[in-house]
Amino acid sequence: MYICSNCWNESLIWKWQCDFCKSWNTLKEFKESKEKKWVRVWEKKSLALISSPHEEESRIITTSIELNTVLWGGIVLWSVMLLSGEPGIGKSTLSLQLANWIHEEIIYISGEETLGQLRSRAKRLNIEWGNIEILTENILEDIFTSIEWKTPKVVIWDSISVLMGWEISGTGGSVSQVRYIAEKIVEYSKARNITSIIIGHVTKDGSLAGPKTLEHMVDTVLYFEGEKYDDIRMLRCLKNRFWATHELGLYKMTEEGLHDLDNPALELLSWSEWIGLALWITIEWRRALIVETEALTNYTKFWYPKRSSRGIPQSKLDLIIAVLSKYTPVKLESYDVYANISRGIKVEEPGLDLALAMSIISSKLGKTLPKSSVFIGEISLTGQIKSVMLLEKRIKEALKLGFTEIYIPHGSKEKLTASIDPKELTALKDFLHIKDIIAIL
Ligand code: TYD
Ligand code: MG
Nearest CA to ligand 1 atom 14: 88
Q: Are strands 195-201 and 80-85 parallel, antiparallel or unpaired?
A: parallel
What is the residue-wise DSSP string for 227-294? -TT--EEEEEEEEESSS----EEEEEEETTEEEE-S-HHHHH---S--TTEEEEEEEETTEEEEEEEE
- Tell me the CA end-to-end span of the chain in Å, nearest whole number: 70
Check if the beta carbon of residue 9 is closer than 8 Å to that of residue 26. Answer: no
* Tens-place pLDDT, residues 3-16: 776 666 678 888 88
45 and 192 in contact (C-beta within 8 Å)? Answer: yes
Instruction: Give yes or no for residue 33 having a pLDDT over 60.
Output: no
- What is the per-residue pLDDT for 403? 92
Residues with CB under 5 A from ligand 2 (ion): 92
Cβ–ligand 1 distance for 200 under 6 Å, the answer no
**Mean pLDDT score of the chain, rounded to an integer?**
85
The class of domain 266-440 in CATH terms is alpha beta
From the CA of 117, the nearest ligand is 1
pLDDT at 299 over 50: yes
pLDDT at 322 over 70: yes
Domain residue ranges in the chain: 1-31, 58-262, 266-440
Question: Which ligand has the shortest distance to the CA of 90?
Answer: 1
| CB of 237 sitting under 6 A from ligand 1 | no
> How confident is the model over 54-90, as pLDDT tens digits?
343 488 999 999 999 898 888 988 899 999 999 999 9
Q: What is the mean pLDDT of residues 181-203?
A: 91
Q: What is the pLDDT of residue 56?
A: 37
Give the residue with greater pLDDT, 23 vs 150.
150
Helix (H) or strand (E) holding 326: helix 314-327
- Interval 10-34 mean pLDDT: 74
CATH number assigned to the domain with residue range 58-262, chosen from the 4 options 2.40.160.20, 3.90.1150.10, 3.40.50.720, 3.40.50.300: 3.40.50.300
Q: Which atom of ligand 1 is nearest to the CA of 86?
A: 7
Task: Single out the residue of 395, 439, 389 nearest to residue 417, CA to CA.
Answer: 395
* 20 pLDDT more than 80: no
Tens of pLDDT, residues 216-265: 889 999 999 988 788 899 999 988 887 777 788 999 999 999 999 878 88
Find the radius of gyration of the CA atoms of the chain: 27
